Amino acid sequence: MRFLPLLSLMLFGFIANAQNASLSGKITGPQNEPVQYASVSFQNSNITTTADAEGNYHFDSLESGEYFLIVNSPGFNTATRRVQLEQNENKTLNIILEEELKDLAEVVITTNRRTETLDEVPSSVSILTSREIERLNLTSNSIADIMNEVPGLAISTSQTSSTGQTLRGRKMLVLIDGIPQSTPLRNGSRDVNTIDPNVIERIEIIKGATAIYGNGADGGIINYITKTPKAYKKLESTTELSSGISLVNSKHTLSSKLSQTFAGQTGGLGYVANASFGQTGIFRDANGEVISPSYGLGETNQYNFFGKLNYAIDYNNTVEFMYNYFSSNQDTEYINQPGVYGERPAIGVIGEVLGVDQGNRYNHNGQFTYNSYNLFGDTDFNANLYFQDFQTVYGFSPFFFNSETGFEGGQSMIESDKKGIRANFRTPYALGSEFSGDILYGIDILNDVTSQYLVDGRLWVPEVDMKNFAPYAQLKTLYGDFVLKAGIRFENINVDIPDYTTIFIMPNEGTPQGNVSVEGGELKYDATTFNAGLRYNRWEQFKPFVSFSQSFSIADLGRTLRSATENTVDQISSEAVIANNYEAGFNSNFGNTSISGAYFVSTSELGATYREVDGVFQIARQPEIVYGFELALDSKLSEKIDFGTSVSYLEGKLDAEDDGEYENYMNGDRIPPLKIASYVSYEVFQKLNMRLSHIYSGNRDKFDPRPNGSYVYGQGPVEAFNLVSLSANYHMTGNTLLSLGVQNLLNQDYYLPISQWDARPSNYIKGNGARLNLSLKVNL
């Protein structure tokens, strides 16, 4: 009989347990990556657990009723979910965490080639995270368009050319994992769209003149950081299929793209690989007209192949290899029908397309990286060996007409082959208990060989062979709440130019040009550039900084060489540009709101402004000054609503008489109009969120027309316009994401800024009308 009470107790426990519920699920981040070891608990209860290494959590023996589940993890916003449990229910609840606002731009890599927080950087930096890139990619597959909301960066041209998309009014240096993509020896403005957005983990925009990566960063740096192996399994797969179409007139506008990524981790070896292929249809403006194919992104075939391996040799030594191939070429049956400037646009019409397809034929990038920690003492060592092999082809132009040789025109192409090595050492130091910091020092060696020929073999720019040797040092000192940084870089550049003859063209109507025999030679550039900055981090609500930095650039030497009128290189004006950037700014955090701002002035004794003389572009070398300000605000208004806005204003003037008086405004290809970019995102419910963005591009009218009413290149008036775009994400399951994007939601009828200031009938082109894009992403 004594067993009866025990049996009854066991039976009662079994029944009670059978009536209890369970709750389980997976915690992931915005990119469906597992959030390891997140804290999961119930509000007003001591019931808690921790997610495992793959983000999985589980609760047993829960009573029925209503609960509020709370999930916390560093770097993410706290998530609260209402849960209703019934008796005997085994409920599954997957939770997607949003990145914490104040940490979105925590880590910077580019500024001095090492990982550090923004609190250690006394300059303006903007970062687009993988989540933001994925969001913005829903409305456009062009990286230039994706960066439209970045303060200080001019609005995209929506073309293959990035002419006029300056950073703080000057040309920027574009990098992929620190590998130069720009071709400053012959700037072809094809460096922005040189990689597929699907393989980019983050984009870092460092504003203001800088010499840290060498030649060409007068306005700053844009660095595309490619994806790194982060998988927690031996094999993970991500498949994405997207398609787009015009909402104005869908005929022949269908675009499609397939992207496949594999990633994994086994032992000390991590890998990530991606292959993508996309095709675009024709693009139409707000009235349904076919947009001109000149420098167009429509009717292109785009390929990208990417791979990265990293291996931990031991605790202190790692190696990594990265390779990326990109190609984007236009295959169209349309030709440009010039418009009438100020009246009607240039459009695309069916016709005979002369020449070969235009676009980036290929862009190969490869890099081997070796990291050694505590190589000797506390000194770390990093080495990069890299290469870039790039070719781009421009559209057919009658400019190259030659009646004597029978050429009806021609197509130019730029080829650039870069090889380089960077070796960096970092040594920490401490002076007593108050001063600490480190010294970064090393050397950059770069060989850049760039030329510009016509497809038919005629020479336009000879093969320019640049060898750059640059030792440098950067000091960082921490004293209390102060951060002081100062650096120096010694540029030693030799440029070899062979003997050549400038291209000869003989228009039907006009004066013969070219055919000048130029004796080659060697140009030498030596310069010392400095930077210094001070930041104060005592108050979270106000962290001010001041900085001074310099850049060094050879102002499009190829353009100078191809229009040479002298018979020796020594007589060609080819002095380098040293830009000086002065800046004062701040960062502030008030709870869920962050604010940043900066005022800057950039000067140079020699300019790099293009001017058109008798149909030929030359470089004006007058002194320049560019100045302006940027303000940005991001705020989490509620648990479900985020809001952000930014204002960018700048102006630039030339000292045309070299008398210290800056009286002439700079052209529109350097100075964009006022830009205001805003967004609001809303989590409709747990699985659905939406984002509405707005960009206002203002007016800029600084120049008078010629007597006949036409405008000089770069001086056409720019009128204001507004662009509204919409994106939405719906998590169908924990592994499947359905996304929608609408570019130019309100179907604004507008001309591109480049079309307005360019002031030429053949380039008077409108922007895209409303376009819809749908995307399905599956993670396994």
Q: 702-721, pLDDT tens digit by residue?
A: 999 999 989 988 999 999 99
The answer on 385 and 477 residing in a single domain is yes
Over range 83-112, report the average pLDDT: 69
State which residues form the domain around 772: 222-228+236-297+345-779
Residue 665, token pair as written in the block = 């405004």
C-alpha to C-alpha distance for 550 and 203, rounded to whole angstroms:
22
Please check whether residues 7 and 135 belong to one and the same domain.
Answer: no
Q: Summarize pLDDT for 741-777 with one digit per residue, the tens.
A: 999 999 999 999 999 999 999 999 999 999 999 999 9
Report yes or no: 27 and 57 within 8 Å, Cβ to Cβ: yes
Q: How far is CA 581 from CA 34, 603, 711, in A?
A: 42, 7, 31
Domain-embedded: residue 82:
yes
> Which residues, 6 or more positions from 376, have their beta carbon under 8 angstroms from its beta carbon?
none
pLDDT (0 to 100) of residue 374: 85
Q: Is 273 found in the same domain as 128?
A: no
CATH code of 484's domain: 2.40.170.20
Q: What single DSSP character describes residue 136? A: H
- Note whether 425 and 397 are same-domain residues: yes
Q: Which of 197, 221, 245 is the last residue of a domain?
A: 221
Angle at 110 between CA 107 and CA 115, to 5 degrees: 40
* Range from 268-272, 417-421, 650-654 carrying the lowest mean pLDDT: 268-272
Percent of the chain having pLDDT more than 70? 92
DSSP symbol at 758: H
Separation CA 59–CA 178 (nearest Å): 46
Mean pLDDT value of segment 728-741: 90
Q: Quick one: pLDDT at residue 617?
A: 54
d(CA 149, CA 127): 11
Read off the pLDDT band of 84 (50, 70, 90). confident
pLDDT of residue 226: 94
Three-state secondary structure of 214-253: CCCCCCEEEEEEECCCCCCCCCEEEEEEEEEEECCCCCCC
Residues 6+ apart with CB under 8 A from 761: 338, 339, 340, 341, 346
Give residue-wise pLDDT tens across range 611-622.
655 555 556 678
Each residue's pLDDT tens digit, 152-174: 999 998 888 888 899 999 999 99
CB atoms within 10 A of CB 80: 12
pLDDT reported for residue 612: 56
- The answer as to whether 332 is a domain residue is no
* Assigned domain for 526 exists: yes
Phi first, then psi, for residue 761 (nearest 5°) are -55, -35
Are residues 732 and 587 located together in one domain of the fold? yes
Co-location of 545 and 672 in the same domain: yes
Helix (H, G, I), strand (E, B) or coil at 116: strand
Residue 111 falls inside a structural domain: yes
Same domain flag for 89 and 116: no
- According to DSSP, the residues that pair with 616 across neighbouring strands are 613
Supply the pLDDT for residue 618. Answer: 56
Q: How many domains does the chain have?
A: 3
Does position 18 have pLDDT exceeding 70, yes or no? no
For residues 215 and 134, membership in a common domain is answered with yes
Average pLDDT taken over every residue of the chain = 87
Q: Are residues 495 and 422 in the same domain?
A: yes
pLDDT of residue 101: 47
Residues 99-138 as b or e (16 or more Cβ within 10 Å = b): bbbbbbbeebbbbbbbebebbbbbbbbbbbbbbbbbbbbb
Q: Which amino acid is at 542?
A: F
Residues 629 and 724 in one domain: yes
Q: What's the pLDDT tens digit per position in 109-129?
A: 565 566 677 777 888 889 898
d(CA 494, CA 655): 30
Q: Which of 96, 121, 139 is the last residue of a domain?
A: 96
- Residue 74, pLDDT score: 64
Q: Give yes or no for residue 80 having a pLDDT over 90.
A: no
Output the DSSP codes for 701-723: ---PPPTTS---TT-S-B--EEE
- The CA-based dihedral angle spanning residues 73, 74, 78, 84, taken in that order and rounded to the nearest 10 degrees: 0
Q: Is the pLDDT of residue 34 over 90?
A: no
Is pLDDT at 633 greater than 70 in this prediction? yes
Boundary residue ending a domain (67, 96, 125)? 96
Does 132 share its domain with 258?
no
- pLDDT over 90 at 51, yes or no: no
